[in-house]
Structure 1
Amino acid sequence: MTRGLPVELFLGFRYLRSRGQRTNLSLFVWIGVGGVFLGVAALILVLAVMTGFQDAIRDKIIAANPHLLIFKSGGQGLSGADALAARVRTRPEVRTATPFVLQQALFTSQAGGAHGGLVRGVDLATPTVLDDVRQQLRTGSLEPLKSGEPAILLGGELARTLGVVPGDSITVISPQGAMTAVGMVPKMRRYTVAGTLEVGMHDYDSSVAYLALPAAQEFAGFTGPAAGPSGAAAGPSGTVTGIEVKLVDPFEARRVARAIAGDLGFPFWVRDWMEMNRNLFAALQLEKLALFVIVTIIVLVAAFAIIGHLVLLVAEKRKEIGILKALGASAGMITAAFFTVGMTIGIVGTIAGSAVGLTLIWVQNTYKIIRLAGDVYQIDYLLMKLTPGDFVLVVSATLVLSFLASVIPARRAGSLAPVDVLRYE
């Protein structure tokens, strides 16, 4: 197998084997390869889990929420929303721009269930908004909302908490009530549950309800021709909370937000989805970095195992090194032979760990073996995703550590003087 190899490689592969054995690898070699293997596989899996989790959460947020929100300073609502939305839609990066209403509320049912959440008024007259809501619909129908009936769509978890199904009635209570002789009286409206929605994020599905925009305007106390107690689907020309914008490329949100804010000027201000979820993504990124550093310790332990093996090997082969040098072997040749031992351990462990790590990622993504609690992690199963950059980082870091662990003992072996080695032999 080693016939025809350069002397350095021949000696290196020979030193990998146990003393007196032609084929069996020494125990220290197995320990070194196993340590590198475990470290690389663990690093790949940790980075894949964190990246997959982060991307899954990000995709859920992008799907469930607008990419930009435009508000008017002062918090009194935004009038002239149609003209403002039309102005924003002229930008080539914008896919849709529609008025919306957002109002805190308390939901109660005849079954005795009660839960706080948000009422979201959406413009179902806009085809793209209608398509987005229809994709989220799991039970029931959108027709009651489109036809102007006093109907509401509930998040699936919210409907289960209230104990209602499509066709049941619920009472929605607004914190903004009317002042009467007996004090503040909360505004209450009764709606029929038209259907349930499911975005896939527990926090969202357990707290959000959709109303047609005119009905939401009336519930929130906004005035305007579009608002009325019947919730009739007239044009959204009254006061609204703001404008929600969806982009062609959600990852351009920060740049587009700055451009729109500069174009509209005061008193308007724009928030993008990255800014609104900045703390969440910063925490996930920090957790990913911390886990990478922690798991790298496994590779460091393997590197020390390589150093220990080479130091012992050099001590064991002192006589052989002296004879080789006496016969004319250069210091570089001896260094290269022992360097081959260390790098072979590192390379074999890296290849094996990478193969196992990538295989486990494929198995999990294909068969979804590891399931998660959606109410805790916001996703139903463990998604793994390894970016090329992360893979290169793991392999490069492991090979660099293997190089450093190999070069020091190898140079020590090459620096041995044959006279000192053979003096007492």
Structure 2
Amino acid sequence: MNFEYFIAKRLIRGGADKISISAPIIKIAISAIALGIIMMLIAIATGDGLKVKIREKVTAFNGHIQIYNFDNNNSDVSVVPVSLEQDFYPKFTDVEGISHVQAVASKGGVIRTETTFEGIIAKGVGKDYNWNVLEEYLVEGELPQYNGDLNGDVLMSRIMANRLQLKTGDTFFSVFFKDAADKLPNQRKFNITGIYDSGFEEIDGVLVFVDIRHIQRMNKWETNQVGNFEVFLDDFDAIDAKTNEIYGNTLSTLDTRNIKYKYGPIFEWISLFDFNVALIIGIMIIVAGINMITALLVLILERTQMIGILKALGSANWSIRKVFLYNATYLIGIGLLWGNFIGLGIIWLQNTYKLFRFPNPKEYHVEFIPVHIDFFTVLILNIGVLVLCLLMLLLPSYIITKITPVKAIKFE
């Protein structure tokens, strides 16, 4: 058996049966480690959770990547149509990591009622549209279906419905703009089948879902012409690489851009979360390390006579230092164990029961505080805390080399 490990284990076992000056300090050090890991886990889980939730919301309404005609790139409405007859539609087989491709078209207009009016962007979608990603944002009614004959069913946001004083089942008229050559605008009658709430006023304030055939008819397009394509990816982290790869696998008349370009300020804002999380982790590791340094110095002071005896028997300084580092590793491990148990428990409770919510949901675009963490992140965090704390203990353990056997044995 390893000599240093054997001594450290005996010290750990013996310490439990003996009241010493180090006992309360050790408890404080373990508590600091536990509290630190709890704070770090919560910081990572809430930071990543908010990023993931915001990404999911934005991509649900826009896709990860959009494929446009070059003439449409600076506009939210479809101007020049794109043919459905593309090699990448309906399945993008030339690029891996793509889960779905759908065709859409958008047109600007105005909803008018007897008392008020609102400007809108009507997003035309067809039978290939993936409604599954919008189900969690449906708050009233049901999602429209555009698989059969042309109908006037629409999906409207709660913000817009409240402004217009409309509800599910109500009908309304919309006026859509034509080209300059056409004198009279297009008018359409729609019926609200469902109401959604994404939490993003940039989306909810203007976007209404309609049958894409309305857009095609008003724009005098053919049935195989659409405004643009929305591409959904399996992995958001690959969005930049996939944007370039998709661009290289489409016609020269088409351009691609991703939602990070369209919603630049939002993604710049959520990128700051990483810095905040890193700052919290750094502070917690420093606090935990300082507490462990204090505990180690007290342990060394308390075992000064033992150190002197071991040196008198021929033990090397590094060998004795390893004894106390083993002891410190045990204490850190106890703190990590309790910290993970409590921290992951809090994260599970929040994810399951939504106990905590934002005081002002509009600022964060979500009502409840979202959490997200994976096993690999937890593992790396624990290993990092353990290694960094032990590295911080190497310097204070050097004090053992300054203890002389004669003075140590006489020490009381």
Q: TM-score, normalised by structure 2?
A: 0.80
Aligned to 1:367: 353
| Percentage of matched positions with identical amino acids | 19
- Tell me, what secondary structure is at the counterpart of 1:164? coil
Matched, 1:81 2:83: yes
Whether the aligned pair in 1 keeps the contact of 2:22 and 2:295 (CA below 8 Å) is no
- How far residue 159 of structure 1 moved from its aligned partner, in angstroms, is 1.4
Q: Residue 158 of structure 1 contacts residue 205 of structure 1 at CA under 8 Å; is this kept in 2?
A: yes
Tell me which moved more, 32-41 or 207-216. 207-216
Measure, in 1, the Cα distance between the counterparts of 2:32 and 2:88.
61
- Structure 1 stretches lacking a partner, 5+ long: 227-235
Task: Give the corresponding residue for 1:233.
Answer: none
- Report the alpha carbon displacement of residue 357 of structure 1 after superposing the two structures with TM: 0.8
Runs of 5+ unmatched residues, structure 2: 73-77
The Cα shift of 1:173 comes to 4.8
**Equivalent of 2:272, from 274, 286, 311?**
286
Bigger shift: residues 44-53 or 397-406? 397-406
The answer to whether 1:35 aligns with 2:32 is yes
Instruction: Note if contact 1:111-1:163 (Cα within 8 Å) is conserved in structure 2.
Output: no
Whether the 8 Å CA contact 1:146–1:212 is kept in 2: the answer is: no
Superposed CA RMSD:
3.7
1:336-378: CA deviation from partner (whole Å, max 9, x where unpaired)? 3322342232121111111111111111122221234654433
How far, CA to CA, are the matches of 2:236 and 2:23 in structure 1?
Answer: 55
The equivalent residue for 1:91 is: 92
Asked whether 1:160 is paired with 2:162, we answer yes
CA shift, 1:266, in A, is: 2.4
Letter in 1 for 2:166: V
- 1:35, 1:299 within 8 Å by CA — same for their partners in 2? no
Equivalent residue of 2:89, what SS? helix
Task: Give, as a single letter, the amino acid of the residue that structure 1 aligns with 2:220.
Answer: T
Deviations 1:275-321 (A, max 9, x none): 54565345324313322322431231221122123334434543443
SS at match of 2:85: helix
Q: Distance in 1 between matches of 2:392 and 2:134?
A: 59
- From 189, 192, 208, the counterpart of 2:190: 192
Select which of 44, 59, 63 maps to 2:60.
Answer: 63
* Residue 403 of structure 1, CA deviation: 0.7
Report how far residue 54 of structure 1 moved: 1.7
What is the Cα deviation at residue 412 of structure 1?
1.8
Tell me, yes or no, if the aligned pair for 2:65 and 2:243 is still in contact at 8 Å.
yes
Mapped partners of 1:98, 1:214: distance in 2: 14
- 2 CA distance for matches of 1:291 and 1:95? 31
Number of aligned residue pairs: give it.
396
In 2, Cα distance between the equivalents of 1:64 and 1:330? 67
User: Structure 1 residues 392 and 95 mapped into 2: Cα distance closer, same or farther (>3 Å)?
Assistant: closer
- The residue aligned with 1:230 is none
Query: Which has the larger Rg?
Result: 1
Q: Which residue of 103, 110, 114 corresponds with 2:107?
A: 103
User: 1:323 and 1:134, CA in 2 relative to 1: closer, same or farther beyond 3 A?
Assistant: closer
CA shift digits 1:363-419 (9 cap, x unpaired): 112222123465443334223221233212321221123212333233321442214
Q: Are 1:413 and 2:410 an aligned pair?
A: no
CA contact (8 A) 1:338 1:413 kept: no
Residue 326 (structure 1) aligns with: 312
Q: 1:384 aligns with which of 371, 375, 381?
A: 371
C-alpha deviation, 1:330, in angstroms? 4.0
